[in-house]
Amino acid sequence: MRVLRSYTRRFYESEKKAVGKQSKDGMKLSCDPNEILWYAMSSPFRREMKAKALLDAHHIENFIPMKKRQEIRDGEIVTWEEPAIHNFVFVHDSYNGIMKVKKGLDILQFILNPLSPIVVPQRQMDDFIRLYESDGYDEPEFLTPQTMGQLRKNARVVIGDGPLAGISGYYQRVKGAKDKRFIVLIEGLIAMVCSVECKFVKVK
């Protein structure tokens, strides 16, 4: 009977951990609502730049990967930037802090998995932003999990030298490319694919 009680106690403790915390508005959270983290959010109907302006006005750190576009207008080449993947905004603040800004507005929505807001690990955000903001690669391509194809476990690498040393990702071929490319992920959401001149170290 003692073993049964011990098992039952462990079971309920594990269930309690699995449920996580709950915010004042009833949202199930996997973390402290006051802890500053990177949240993956959506801005429906391509309103991510409006969402960014709102966050900037409240001095909340945010990140939207951008890509360059070009077209010829009246015989001249016009260049501009637009979000690499529409409707994505990554926000660096606490859940409660974000709720104070977005309350009553529909231009920012938490992406859920399946019931809790998705929190992006700090290391993934650091690697992604560090590579994105560097100039040590060619024009990158941005893919979603649906367009990227399968990643191979034996293709995991870490950049071993140069200014990008320490960034982890995958080195393999992707759809539409003849040569291998370096891939950095924000897992389950977006991938940045580019060519990088460096030494790669295999991750076992």
Inter-residue contact 119 to 82 (CB < 8 Å): no
Burial of residue 38 (CB within 10 Å: 0-12, 13-18, 19+) is buried
27 or 142, greater pLDDT: 142
Structure confidence at residue 15 (pLDDT):
34
Q: What is this structure's pTM?
A: 0.83
Mean pLDDT score of the chain? 85
Query: Which among 123, 133, 45 has a CA at the least distance from the CA of 89?
Result: 45
Q: What do you get for the CA distance between the two ends of the chain, in Å?
A: 44
- Rounded to 5°, the CA angle 62-67-70 comes to 145
3: pLDDT strictly greater than 70 = no
- Between 38-42, 49-53, 106-110, 199-203, the lowest mean confidence (pLDDT) is in 199-203
Structure confidence at residue 20 (pLDDT):
58
The residues with which 202 forms a beta bridge, in sequence order, are 157
Structure confidence at residue 21 (pLDDT):
76
Spatial neighbors of 182 by CB under 8 A, at least 6 apart, are 137, 157, 159, 169, 170, 171, 193, 194, 195, 196, 200
Q: Report which secondary-structure segment, H or E, holds 54.
A: helix 48-57
12: pLDDT strictly greater than 60 = no
Structure confidence at residue 94 (pLDDT):
97
Structure confidence at residue 8 (pLDDT):
32
Mean pLDDT of 146-157: 86
Structure confidence at residue 131 (pLDDT):
93
Q: Compute the Cα dihedral for 14, 17, 22, 26 and give only its sign.
A: negative
Spatial neighbors of 192 by CB under 8 A, at least 6 apart, are 65, 128, 131, 132, 140, 141, 142, 183, 184, 185
